Chain A
Amino acid sequence: MDQNKTSKEILLRMVKSFTENEVAPFDMEIDHTRSYVNDLLNKIKETDLLSTMLPKEYGGAGFDGSTTAEMINEIARGNASLAVTLEGHFKSIDQIVKFGNQALKDEYLPQAKSRIIAFSMTEPSGGSNPLGINSHAKHVGDKWIINGDKIMITNGGLAEIYCVLVKTAPEELSFFVVDKDMEGFEFGKQENFLGLTGVPVGEIVMNNIEVDESHLLGKVGMGKEIGDSAHNDARVLMGAVLTGIMEHELDIVTDYATHRKAIDTPIIQMQGIQRKIADIAIAKETTKLLYQKAAWLKDNRQDYEEEAAMAKAYGSRSAVKSGDDALQILGGYGYSLDYPVEHLIRDARAMELAEGTVEKMRTEIALIEAKNRA
């Protein structure tokens, strides 16, 4: 028996059944109440879904990037917020695994089983241009003293561990790992975002937080590199979230168009409707291929930055546009807060901003294309 293949199949069976029974039925309620009802946070801990890609030596399940992305895809089909909460945790684990020193790994990775980790770069002064940040860390003896204010953090308030980008010198960016239980750590205000409303997005304030040398992630000055790496890992998973959203859209429109009749003909017989449904399906499948390719490249230790950016840049606009088409297919009901379509548009729209705006991603894609030919 091929152990990897069998493990993956068992995981996906579990995630399908979990999504079908525990997540999808609560999709609307999660959106409306802006919270993970049905005790979902405990359920993802109990089933160890939080440890899906955590390496085995730290008590995790050790699944590869492709499997993890497919798992996120499946959950997003039930509810995109929960998938993004997991995505934020996984990409943070990824950076500690890649860049953390052994002491940091030994301290925090085993905790990742039950404590969510977040990744924080954006500040009130801006997200797209990291050198504009104000947070900083000062080396005092063998400690670092961290001060600053971080906003718009996925899982901010929910996460207990934060990877934070700070300046260690005027032109020098570095990452540190801080714990919510540290002296000087405070939660700030929660964002009142339009979509992905299940995901808490919030602020943290750091007031003279003192950490050991081991809490430096990577080396001094590696801030940009680590930030880019986190973006890449997050974008693969966001491609999976967006695929899940489009699958959810397809689930809704195919069912509706088959049952809704114009006089006596189901509207799925009409070419205008067919075209919209086909376009959603094409966009879904394209996004899926992009994120799967990016994940495959990542698992095989090849460059995946460009494919990851494509998956998110293409997938996010496509999912918004598909949501708009889905809304139109459902007519007036599509415009109702009592139907799920409108929140899928809001959810998808977040991913044109988070983890790098689509503008930034297009810049990256264009520069890579040019570089490949230089």
Chain B
Amino acid sequence: MTAIEENWIFAENDLDEINPVTFQLITKMNQISHDPVVVILIEKNAANLEKVLSAYGPDKIITIKDDALATGDDLEITDALANLIEKKGTPNTLIFPATVAGRSIAPRLQARLQTGLTADCLDLHFEGNLLIQTKPSYGDNIMCEITIPECRPQMVTARPNVFSSEKKINPNLEIETVSNIQWKKDDQLQIKSRVLLAQKAKDIKQAKHVVAIGRGSKTAKDIEGAVSLAKKLNASLGVTRPLTDLDTFTIADQIGQSGQTIAPDLLINLGISGAVQYTSGISNAKIVVSINTDKNAQIFKHSDYFFVGNAQEFAKSLEAIL
């Protein structure tokens, strides 16, 4: 197979909507790649998702328009992508989002192409043509750098929401629709898909977003405000220990040493002082935002962003613009 000096990104199309991780991957590849950045898109005939993708400035979009394939299973998509590569040549790299779909299709395609694949990368850079892939292991306790020196394409899946996305106008953008892609129908699976409505607030231990309230935010009105902010953010509500005295909350809602340890992407602390027994439960939170009237509150030391002032007012302002 001929090698081509291009870097490909597989666009994730979830029921006619591009998963934003795709934009993040385009932006990242635009930053690190000397070779053309090419997005591979599978969509229904009537769709025009190229338009959304264009806004992030790849060099080329190759679209396979095929109604059946757009809802195809992993095996069918693998078949089609292998066929595309047979026609177009082997790109230098091929990046998938490390989503459920990406992490399922990429290894199948890897096996078909007999090349290497690195999972769930957190960082990527080039040394010449060689892609240096940083991936976590042991539940993010260890980082390793992995390379695929001998085989092409160098395949990776890259974790969502690690790279930021930036819109970019690329005046030389080329859009190509390919129509003669073959793939074998798999009639072993019958798939029924439904869009997931905003997920129910989860157990705080698993929640991606948490709004936590403390003694500085414990009136009925405060709690009401926090509940509706949490709803807007699709967040779970947690509390400090003093609030478990209220009938509404139990130890399952309590964050901290004698409560739950949480690890959300976003934690908003409303009226919490930051006692060690509390902060020991939040050390795995990624972004911590705290609101407290006391400008010397301990909790600020544990925060990325803080607001000195009334928690209820801030919560209201925030909710209003979400």
B119: shortest Cβ distance to chain A, in Å?
26
Give bound CA distance, A333 to B277, whole Å. 10
Give bound CA distance, A33 to B258, whole Å. 17
Does B276 lie within 8 Å of A260, measured CB to CB? yes
Does B276 lie within 8 Å of A338, measured CB to CB? no
- B293 interfacial contact with A, CB 8 Å: no
- B280 interfacial contact with A, CB 8 Å: yes
- Chain A residues with CB under 8 Å of B276's CB are 259-261
How would residues 254 to 265 of chain B score, 1 for a CB under 8 Å from any chain A CB and 0 otherwise? 000010000000
Give bound CA distance, A339 to B280, whole Å. 15
Residue of A nearest to B241 (CB): A338
| Number of chain A residues close to chain B: CB under 8 A | 6
Residue of B nearest to A333 (CB): B277
Does B258 lie within 8 Å of A338, measured CB to CB? yes
Give bound CA distance, A326 to B258, whole Å. 17
Does B280 lie within 8 Å of A259, measured CB to CB? yes
How many A-B residue contacts, CB cutoff 8 Å? Answer: 7
B257: shortest Cβ distance to chain A, in Å?
9
- Taking CB atoms and an 8 Å cut-off, the chain A residues in 329-357 that contact chain B are 333, 338-339
Residue of B nearest to A255 (CB): B280
- Chain A residues with CB under 8 Å of B280's CB are 259
Give bound CA distance, A333 to B241, whole Å. 15
Give bound CA distance, A333 to B280, whole Å. 15
Give bound CA distance, A259 to B278, whole Å. 12
- Chain A residues with CB under 8 Å of B277's CB are 333
Residue of B nearest to A259 (CB): B280
- Chain B residues with CB under 8 Å of A259's CB are 276, 280
Residue of B nearest to A340 (CB): B258
Give bound CA distance, A260 to B279, whole Å. 11
Give bound CA distance, A338 to B256, whole Å. 13
Residue of A nearest to B283 (CB): A259
Give bound CA distance, A339 to B258, whole Å. 8
Give bound CA distance, A326 to B277, whole Å. 17
B95: shortest Cβ distance to chain A, in Å?
38
How would residues 249 to 291 of chain A score, 1 for a CB under 8 Å from any chain B CB and 0 otherwise? 0000000000111000000000000000000000000000000
Residue of B nearest to A261 (CB): B276
Give bound CA distance, A260 to B258, whole Å. 15
Residue of A nearest to B279 (CB): A259
- Taking CB atoms and an 8 Å cut-off, the chain B residues in 258-310 that contact chain A are 258, 276-277, 280
Give bound CA distance, A339 to B277, whole Å. 11
Give bound CA distance, A333 to B257, whole Å. 12
- Chain A residues with CB under 8 Å of B258's CB are 338-339
A330: shortest Cβ distance to chain B, in Å?
11
- Chain B residues with CB under 8 Å of A333's CB are 277
- Taking CB atoms and an 8 Å cut-off, the chain B residues in 101-126 that contact chain A are none
Residue of B nearest to A28 (CB): B258
Give bound CA distance, A338 to B254, whole Å. 14
Give bound CA distance, A339 to B276, whole Å. 14
Give bound CA distance, A260 to B276, whole Å. 8
Give bound CA distance, A292 to B258, whole Å. 34
B171: shortest Cβ distance to chain A, in Å?
55
Residue of B nearest to A29 (CB): B251
B280: shortest Cβ distance to chain A, in Å?
6
The 7 sampled A-B contact pairs (Cβ below 8 Å) are A259-B276, A259-B280, A260-B276, A261-B276, A333-B277, A338-B258, A339-B258
Q: Which 4 pairs between the two chains have the least Cβ-Cβ distance? A: A259-B280, A338-B258, A260-B276, A259-B276
Where the two chains meet, the residues of A that have a C-beta atom closer than 8 Å to any C-beta of B are 259-261, 333, 338-339
